[in-house]
Amino acid sequence: MPLPLILIFSGVLLGSSLSATAQTDKTKQPFTVELSFDHQTLSNQSPSFQETALRLNRWLGPRHVIDFSLVNSQRFGLRDKQLLASYVHPVNDKLGIAIDAGFSPSQNFLPHHSLDLRLQYEFAPAWVAYAGLKNSQYKTLSVRQGLLMVERYIGPFSFALSWHPVQALGKSTSNQVLKAYYYYGQDNMLGLIYSRGQEATQINDALITLADVRSLTLSGRYWIAPEWAVNYSVGSTQQGSFYTRKGVRFGIQHSF
């Protein structure tokens, strides 16, 4: 996975954005635990990427959430463990703040530590603006990434366009992400995410370079019972001329 996007896609799939936390009233079931599995194949015959994650989420109030995840990943024949923490806090009715942090003691391919700060502001009815800054420290380099995003809600749909300036390997570049979501039933969701741009990309266990990346992901959440839901995604990512990744993710979550 492109290095700057490791946590971005996690946030997308788990619904941890500031706006998503206000979808439903979760007072009666403030805790959520999820176990997820991710498997991705590479076109260049490299070993498949695999990931298992355990997540615990605590709903403290409207747009007020704390979240912890323990991730076990395998890539390029190596293994890494990572601890992630996220806190979302409403400053007032229109302004919110989110802080994400990550730590990997082994840091074979995941960042040793990362810190992500995001602000959300509802500047007009059904219009939300986001700004953020993230720093990830890997074993051999630092990656700094910004975020500017506008999101629009129209009935059961939401659309977002974001720009992510990136500094890595002594160069400045950027990528763009387009998201569309459809919300239906009792907090069910279906989303389509497309991204393109130049990113720091890990080619093998020892080589990191900048590459033109194209990615398309279909993700969703479906409640099969009042306390049980499944989260899923399928996607394809072209890492320049190096390889194409195709993968699926499945998670089962329980609210209590």
pLDDT in tens, 150-177: 999 999 999 999 999 999 888 899 999 9
Question: Which segment of 78-92, 135-149, 204-218 scores lowest on mean pLDDT?
Answer: 204-218
Coil, strand, or helix at residue 26? coil
Strands 95-103 and 113-124: antiparallel
- What pLDDT sits at residue 25? 63
The structure's pTM equals 0.85
Model pLDDT, residue 123: 97
Statement: residue 14 has pLDDT above 50: no
